Amino acid sequence: MRRVLPLALLSAACSLRPWTPSVSVAYWGEPVPPPRAMPLPSAATVSERWRLPTEDPWGRYSKVTLLTSLDSMAPDSELPDVRDLEVVREAADAAHHVAQTALPKGVLWLVDLRGAASVAFGATLSLRAAAPVSPVLTFNNWPDASGMVPAEETLAGCVQFAPKLDRPAGGAADALERHPVFMLDSWRLAYRDDEVDEDTYDNRYGLGAADLPSPEALREAGISRVMYVVEDLDDTDKEEDDLNGIFLAYQAHGIGIYMVDLKWLRGLERDTSWPRAFVGRAMWVRPRVTILSSPWFYQRSLGGFGGFRARPIHVGPSSPGGRSGGGGGG
């Protein structure tokens, strides 16, 4: 299995900089909740629940890769009850506060929390907001008993939460009124310094330029700002590595990047002035070396970073998957 850093080494956390969402969730996040028995719907049922209408201009980006794993699960599989996670409750509460405001137009929301919390945010915002919201799934891996990251936690979020999907009336004007919310999983690039052997299924993955709207597509949709949501700015000071190049391209086309956390969103009031709220939240993204450009990252990932494995899986008490034993320790 992968090498786990001793707890004592956390005092040298500065060596892990930049502190991206994946570093924060791996070293300071809550433990993955224990698995529980729950009705497991079919992949088709959950996919239909999250499938944006064909008229929705953001539907082309939504992925059902993770959802398809439901049909490969053993009958006695269990999933973690993600409602036990404090960050999931905080994400839903943050979305409730955002929904009370007049949602800012011309904004792409990128919610980079642990997957279940991102799902809670997207689903809650779609249910509570008066304006139409397009929640977009970006999850591109599978759970596995020997998985590097707990994809079953994100899957559980997709099973336990459901969005409200408004059918667009059609036309360019309607597309401009929709509020795209892309839900990302901060587990996707976790454990960057851990070594992985052949017995571990490396189910991490990175998002590429094709997974998110291009600068041209955003401009065409009238979007000039990206709201990048992380769990806690005290633990996160940079965008995730796979977003660096994408954000640089956005900046080059005059699209501003704004970085906020759940605490900030939970402080929003019904009469929030978004032009004022944006002041002081802008981040300037600089080119930097990322783990995706490092050959050492792939050499350590002997389990096959970003690979796919289609086989029956079992997630339960005897095979917790990923870091189900707990976070906060590398």
The CA distance from 200 to 322, in Å, is: 9
Measured in whole angstroms, how far is the alpha carbon of residue 172 from the centre of its chain? 28
Q: pLDDT tens string for the chain (330 positions)?
A: 333 444 444 444 455 579 999 999 999 999 999 999 988 999 999 999 999 998 899 999 999 999 999 999 987 789 999 999 999 999 999 999 999 999 999 999 999 999 999 999 999 999 999 999 999 999 999 999 899 999 999 999 999 999 999 877 766 567 678 999 999 999 999 998 888 888 889 999 999 999 999 999 999 999 999 999 999 999 999 999 999 999 999 999 999 999 999 999 999 999 999 999 999 999 999 999 998 888 877 777 765 676 544 444 556 543 334 443 344 333
Measured in whole angstroms, how far is the alpha carbon of residue 61 from the centre of its chain? 14
The CA distance from 218 to 222, in Å, is: 6
* Cis before 317 (ω within 30): no
Domain range list for the chain? 7-300
Question: Mutual orientation of helices 115-128 and 86-100 as an angle, nearest 10°?
Answer: 30
- Three-state DSSP class for residue 189: helix
In degrees, to the nearest 5, what angle opens at C-alpha 11 toward C-alphas 297 and 263?
Answer: 85
pTM comes to 0.89
The closest of 322, 302, 305, 304 to 313, measured between CA atoms, is 322
Among all chains, which residue has been given the structure tokens 């939504």?
62
Number of H helices, E strands in the chain: 11, 8
Tokens of 35: 């698995």
